[in-house]
Amino acid sequence: MISVVIPVYNEEKRIEKTAERLISYLSGAVDSYEIVFSNDGSLDSTYEKAKKISMQNPCVRVVGYDTNKGKGGAVREGILAAEGDIILFTDCDLAYGTDVIGKAVKCFEESGADIVTGSRNLDSESYEGYTFTRKVMSKVYFKIIAFAAGFKLTDSQCGFKCFKKHAAHDIFSECTINSFAFDLEALMKAQTKGYKIAEMPVKILYNDNSESKVRMIRDTFKMLGDIREIRRQNKKA
């Protein structure tokens, strides 16, 4: 079974369409599946709409909590509740489409990996629509983070990551970071534990260019601080 975890926070405008697209794809692509919407303390009608969808489709479940924690908390909640042999998470906007799910399953079969993570840097067309400045800053950001974290992955922050069940539950049961550094924490723990990680090219099909340069710079320093904390925790483990 494939488990698709979708962290949601104030997604009332798109959650129904997202569910429709996933159900349409998964019902024809895999033998069995579940969609786990993990509500990160939404303030709008996201939770109510997710529950309604789950009542209409037994393959959809809803987990979560009332107080907003951050994407890392929602992903962790969803992954630990997921029951599939392969557990993946992606954002509610389905930025990488749905076909990427089947490609990830194939990558598991071909690579024998425990974890498959998407990489925008392995697809030459992935940054179409980005301004030149943002494209350059994004690539520099990834290189800084990879160097500081001490591994050679080309895109640690890609929002599409897949895990074999045993690896997912082992890793995320020890994760604590709720901020945007959560997936970096998961990858660093995976590396420490010796799990095999494979990368596959992914292309951004939906592109939100709202992020500013100021935030990119601020987030880089925040991420470096998180990396120091993750490495400290890993040494103690």
pLDDT exceeds cutoff 80 at 47: yes
Express as a percent the part of the chain with pLDDT over 70: 76
Torsion, Cα of 151, 157, 159, 161 (10° steps)? 10
**Residue 200 in contact with residue 123, Cβ under 8 Å?**
no
For position 148, what pLDDT does the model report?
65
User: Which sign does the torsion angle of CA 215, 217, 221, 226 carry?
Assistant: positive
**Residue 117 in contact with residue 161, Cβ under 8 Å?**
yes
- Three-state DSSP class for residue 118: strand
pLDDT exceeds cutoff 80 at 146: no
State mean pLDDT over 26-34: 96
- Three-state DSSP class for residue 202: coil
Helix 46-56 and helix 15-29, axial crossing angle in degrees, nearest 10:
30
For position 215, what pLDDT does the model report?
60
State mean pLDDT over 31-35: 97
For position 133, what pLDDT does the model report?
62
157-176 pLDDT, tens digit each: 889 999 999 999 999 999 99
Report CA-CA distances (Å) from 231 to 1, 24, 185. 33, 41, 9
Q: In terms of residue numbers, what domain contains 140?
A: 2-236
CATH of the domain at 80: 3.90.550.10
pLDDT exceeds cutoff 70 at 183: yes
DSSP-derived pairing of the beta strands 60-65 and 115-119: unpaired
Residue with the larger pLDDT of the pair 52 and 237: 52
- Three-state DSSP class for residue 63: strand
pLDDT band at 228 (very low <50, low <70, confident <90, very high): confident
State mean pLDDT over 167-196: 92
71-122 pLDDT, tens digit each: 999 999 999 999 999 999 999 999 999 999 999 999 999 999 999 999 988 7
15-24 pLDDT, tens digit each: 999 999 999 9
Number of domains forming the structure of the chain: 1
User: Which sign does the torsion angle of CA 203, 13, 86, 2 carry?
Assistant: negative
For position 152, what pLDDT does the model report?
73
pLDDT exceeds cutoff 70 at 124: no
Rounded distance between C-alpha atoms, residue 111 and residue 116, angstroms: 9
Helix 213-236 and helix 132-149, axial crossing angle in degrees, nearest 10:
10
